[in-house]
């Protein structure tokens, strides 16, 4: 086994263990915030697996879209809502748990048989250096698919502006009260006439 193949094999084992552990944490943790963070770990592990397959563009898109957008959106939704609800006990919960366990075990057995029965040996072929997929996709974006690429960017910009407008919470009063008396600055408020008249009467009585 060559050194590069050994490094790839060890990296695959580490990424696979990380992905399986994080996925189990997403399902088993009772705190939904911890589950959302571990979901980001699952996405990062999948991105690493894409890098081992020389799919650099798919790995980058995995990080940008799923980790940087979807997972962050889930975290913001969880932290903004923060709604606590007392869950009621459902009848026949044991039957649902048993059915879920059987389905999961069946899927695990099917995938295990597929992994064991598939020949994963790939013949090593010495070829010339292949151009990066990101460079090829960039060339196609800015030559053959320039118009759809620009239209997609305009649509995304329109969606972002619409989301900002909908998210605004400016409270506008229904009726503007214009008859409210306001004392101008640097002036003393007017004394009530009742107090002025009573003061005059007391002074006249003294006289």
What would the mean pLDDT of 157-168 be, rounded to a whole number?
A: 81
- Residue-wise pLDDT tens digits, 50-70: 888 888 888 888 888 888 888
Contacts of 12 (CB under 8 A, 6+ apart): 49, 52
Q: Is the pLDDT of residue 144 over 80?
A: yes
Report pLDDT for 68: 85
Report pLDDT for 169: 57
Residues 52, 9: Cα–Cα separation, whole Å: 9
Report pLDDT for 56: 82
Q: Among 81-85, 118-122, 140-144, name the one with the lowest average pLDDT.
A: 81-85
16's enclosing H/E stretch is: helix 3-28
Report pLDDT for 204: 61
Q: Are 57 and 70 in contact (CB under 8 A)?
A: no
Q: Are 57 and 134 in contact (CB under 8 A)?
A: yes
Q: Is the pLDDT of residue 1 over 50?
A: no
Residues 22, 43: Cα–Cα separation, whole Å: 9
Average pLDDT, rounded, for the chain: 77
Highest mean pLDDT among 8-12, 14-18, 85-89, 160-164: 14-18
- DSSP conformation letters of 48-110: HHHHHTT-HHHHHHIIIIIIIIIIHHHHHHHHHH----PPPPPTTHHHHHHHHHHHHHHHHHH
Which tokens sit at 54? 């020389």
Answer yes or no: pTM beyond 0.85.
no
- Residue-wise pLDDT tens digits, 109-134: 999 998 888 887 766 655 555 667 77
Q: Among 33-42, 71-80, 192-201, name the one with the lowest average pLDDT.
A: 192-201
What would the mean pLDDT of 11-32 be, rounded to a whole number?
A: 89
Report pLDDT for 88: 72
Q: Among 51-65, 76-90, 157-171, 176-190, name the one with the lowest average pLDDT.
A: 176-190
Residues 80, 15: Cα–Cα separation, whole Å: 32
Report pLDDT for 115: 85
Count of other CB atoms within 10 angstroms of residue 48: 19
Query: Domain 1-83 is of which CATH architecture?
Result: Up-down Bundle (1.20)
Q: Is the pLDDT of residue 16 over 80?
A: yes
């Amino acid at each position: 086994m060559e050194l590069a193949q050994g490094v790839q094999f060890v990296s695959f084992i580490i990424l696979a263990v990380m992905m399986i552990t994080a996925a189990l944490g997403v399902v088993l943790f009772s705190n939904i915030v911890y589950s959302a963070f571990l979901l980001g770990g699952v996405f990062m592990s999948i991105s690493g697996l894409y890098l081992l397959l020389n799919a650099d563009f798919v790995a980058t898109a995995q990080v940008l879209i799923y980790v940087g957008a979807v997972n962050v959106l889930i975290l913001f939704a969880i932290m903004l809502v923060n709604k606590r609800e007392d869950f009621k006990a459902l009848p026949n919960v044991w039957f649902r748990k048993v059915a879920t366990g059987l389905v999961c075990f069946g899927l695990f057995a099917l995938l295990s048989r597929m992994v064991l029965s598939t020949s994963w040996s790939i013949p090593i072929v010495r070829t010339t250096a292949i151009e990066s997929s990101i460079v090829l996709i960039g060339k196609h974006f800015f030559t053959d698919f320039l118009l759809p690429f620009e239209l997609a960017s305009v649509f995304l910009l329109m969606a972002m502006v619409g989301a900002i407008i909908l998210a605004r919470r400016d409270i506008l009063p229904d009726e503007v009260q214009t008859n409210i008396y306001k004392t101008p600055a640097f002036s003393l408020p007017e004394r009530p006439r009742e107090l002025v008249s009573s003061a005059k009467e007391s002074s006249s009585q003294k006289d």
